[in-house]
């Protein structure tokens, strides 16, 4: 019913201008309904849908800041990414490990993305912490739990050990821009995991852990420009496993907010059955 009414309202209020421009922007909590968004994109006169990734109430902060900047004479540029939160250095990650009561076992590795890909390629789930925290409800490769989607059962393992959530909730694929058009059968932008797409059936057996039972995936297309370390990880995984796709879910336990700091990540790590945590280039393991 929501989809039916939303499509009718779009046609009634915006049909003429969308036919002229091909573009539509959505905000508000309903804009996070990925199935509705897929139906909007499939309208014959829609070339591009933009959904600001924090389009619920938290996004009003970004709107207020943008409005204030406009009043002050600033030029408002296109939003290219959602990496707007705090970041932490290797030294700060080491300090958090040294101060943590669980006395973590940790080592500094030479190439964090490469080591992470090797752990994933061996079938392990991995807590992945790097760069600036994402703004909004979706983990986009900076505060994520990752898995290799070509391994049958890795989603169930993440559910049982870490997320404790209903199995019908699909896990999302992050993919390199080099394979996105073939996998999603469209070149529509998808940087924020706010849309579902029909997956190319040729990929179903290659990445079974991130294709929903209705044949769709809530996808994130990753570019080197916006997240170079995450891009490098997926590139390494592609060399090891043949697929430029990683399973990506938020770095938190059910009912808790997404992790922000290294200390938050360590607390979560020791409150679940995860075995590997990558804090920038610092690899934390359990006995």
Per residue in 21-66, pLDDT tens?
A: 999 999 899 999 999 999 999 999 999 999 999 998 888 998 899 9
pTM, full prediction:
0.94
Confidence band, pLDDT 50/70/90 cuts, at residue 170: confident
Question: In whole angstroms, what is the distance from residue 146 CA to residue 144 CA?
Answer: 6
- Give the phi and the psi of residue 25 in degrees, each rounded to 5: -120, 135
Question: In whole angstroms, what is the distance from residue 109 CA to residue 263 CA?
Answer: 19
Model confidence pLDDT, tens digit, residues 71-99: 999 999 989 999 999 999 999 999 999 99
From the list 137, 151, 130, 133, the residue with the least C-alpha distance to 233 is 130
> Do residues 224 and 207 make contact, with C-beta atoms less than 8 angstroms apart?
no
Question: How many CB atoms are closer than 10 A to CB 16?
Answer: 10
Model confidence pLDDT, tens digit, residues 278-287: 999 999 999 7
Q: Tell me the C-alpha to C-alpha distance, in Å, between residue 229 and each of 141, 169, 253, 256, 262.
A: 9, 27, 24, 26, 17
**pLDDT surpassing 80 at residue 164:** no
Cα maximum dimension of the chain: 63
Here the tokens at position 246 are: 């990683």
Q: What is the dihedral of CA 190, 230, 27, 183, to 10 degrees?
A: 20
């Amino acid at each position: 019913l929501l989809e039916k009414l939303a499509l009718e309202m779009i046609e009634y209020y915006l049909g003429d201008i969308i036919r002229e421009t091909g573009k539509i922007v959505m905000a508000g909590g309903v804009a996070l309904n990925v199935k509705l968004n897929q139906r909007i994109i499939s309208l014959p006169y829609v070339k591009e849908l933009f959904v600001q990734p924090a389009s619920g109430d938290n996004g009003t902060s970004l709107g207020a800041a943008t409005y204030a900047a406009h009043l002050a004479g600033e030029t408002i540029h296109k939003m290219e990414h959602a990496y707007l939160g705090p970041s932490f250095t290797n030294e700060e990650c080491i300090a958090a490990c040294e101060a943590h009561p669980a006395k973590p076992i940790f080592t500094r590795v030479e190439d964090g993305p490469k080591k992470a890909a090797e752990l994933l390629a061996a079938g392990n789930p991995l807590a992945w912490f790097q760069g600036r925290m994402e703004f909004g409800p979706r983990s986009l490769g900076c505060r994520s739990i990752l898995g290799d989607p070509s391994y049958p059962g890795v989603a169930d393992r993440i559910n049982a050990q870490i997320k404790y959530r209903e199995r019908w909730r699909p896990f999302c694929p992050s993919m390199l821009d080099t394979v996105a058009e073939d996998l999603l059968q469209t070149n529509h932008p998808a940087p924020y995991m706010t849309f579902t797409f029909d997956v190319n059936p040729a990929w179903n057996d290659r990445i079974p852990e991130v294709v929903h039972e209705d044949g769709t995936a809530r996808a994130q297309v990753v570019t080197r420009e916006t997240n170079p370390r995450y891009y490098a990880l997926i590139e390494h995984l592609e060399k090891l496993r043949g697929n430029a796709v990683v399973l990506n879910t938020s770095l938190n336990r059910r009912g808790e907010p997404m992790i922000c700091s290294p200390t938050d990540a360590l607390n979560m790590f020791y409150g679940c059955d995860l075995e590997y945590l990558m804090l920038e280039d610092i690899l934390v393991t359990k006995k």
